[in-house]
Structure 1
Amino acid sequence: MFQHQTEDYLSEPVEIEDVEPLVFREILHFISTGRLSESEMKSTKPFKILKVAANEVMATEAWEKVERDHPKLCLTTLKKIVETG
């Protein structure tokens, strides 16, 4: 959606309805800097951020390696995502 400079992209605001504004802001911050804000890491937002990005994260080889090497960590992470949903 953001990669193609269509007329709508250039002139109309984009509404993201299924993500909290602060969570989306943090995702944009991460995309542009490669880091999460330290203040956000002390809240439940890391799990909300992961929930938004989970389809992308779980499709990577890195996630498969973590699943294989640390299954309890994956289960704990997924439980936290569900709890904060």
Structure 2
Amino acid sequence: MTDPRLRASDADRQRVVADLERHTAAGRLSLDEFTTRVDAVLAARTHGDLGHLTSDLPAEAQPSADARHLLIAFALAAVVVALLAVIISVYR
């Protein structure tokens, strides 16, 4: 988050609720903790208020470079297979 004194928008609150949902699904929060924090998110006025509600939770990991490379390789392989299927169907 940026300056903790800045007012939070509805989009900021929705993003924090989505983060809390992911942490609950991962087992880091109980349903009671989730409910309590969501109520606090909806009442939050500043970025600092929102930051305090997730400060004890780990940041979500970004996809690693290896995962991105694997995804690109898979996409290229799918394109090659599709092109081969088209070429084979044309020449039959």
Which interval holds the TM-score relative to the shorter structure? under 0.3
* Higher RCO (CA < 8 A, seq sep 6+): 2
Give TM-score, length-normalised by structure 1.
0.28
- Of the two, which has the highest radius of gyration? 2
Give TM-score, length-normalised by structure 2.
0.27
